[in-house]
A and B are shown apart, each in its own frame.
Chain A
Amino acid sequence: GAVVSQHPSRVICKSGTSVKIECRSLDFQATTMFWYRQFPKQSLMLMATSNEGSKATYEQGVEKDKFLINHASLTLSTLTVTSAHPEDSSFYICSANGQDLSYEQYFGPGTRLTVT
């Protein structure tokens, strides 16, 4: 149990376009989902926390208008990188927790975004 999936696993897009990344909890209800970004040889940096049905809470320095997060259901959250630029190229990871799992976080496999 406690499986989190992400789609796509890899994406290459052109500068100026938008990219949507999906995060799904496959076998539990995710009341909260977390979005992280990880640059090469660096640690995970929390971008935002989203609760189902409410607006996401962004960490300091993360532009909410650039990184749109939607958590419309208990099993799906999406992160849209708008007007992507090469410096947005990174490894994006989501995690989810839920009441049934005593609120422990379970992680998706990550999405590698490359902006050309």
Chain B
Amino acid sequence: DAKTTQPPSMDCAEGRAANLPCNHSTISGNEYVYWYRQIHSQGPQYIIHGLKNNETNEMASLIITEDRKSSTLILPHATLRDTAVYYCIVRGPNAGNNRKLIWGLGTSLAVNP
């Protein structure tokens, strides 16, 4: 699975959009970009994933560049409850049920009042 690079920390004002970048320059053609977050002392929570098209759900939007070498997770109106560590993970398709997730250190997002 391809590696990802994320800034270690970011700050965002409450109510503003939080844009979290991720570089995955070695991504393969069939690998997806996944985003999870982990609030302190809790298990990870799935946010969104995509292959090459931009995706949006009730939590966030995922913007993937045309060359797929980077992506941005957008929290449109950050709240204090969005303070967490955000992980960008690249993985292959779920062909079979043993696909591992390789976790980096993520981006620690602090949403400030």
Chain A residues proximal to chain B, CB less than 8 Å: 4, 6, 31-32, 34, 42-46, 49, 51, 91, 93, 95, 97-99, 102-110, 112
Contact = CB atoms under 8 A, between A and B. Distances in A.
B44 A49 contact: no
Given A43-B104, A43-B106, A110 B42 contact: yes
A43 B102 CA distance: 9
Contacts of A91: 41
B98 A51 contact: yes
B4 to A, nearest CB: 11
B98 A46 contact: no
Interface in B87-108: 87, 94, 96-106
B42 A109 contact: yes
Contact of B44 (A46, A93, A97): A93
Contact of A105 (B41, B87, B101, B102): B101
* A31, A51, A105: most-surrounded residue (chain B CB, <10 A): A105
Nearest to B44: A107
Contacts of B43: 4, 6, 93, 95, 107-110
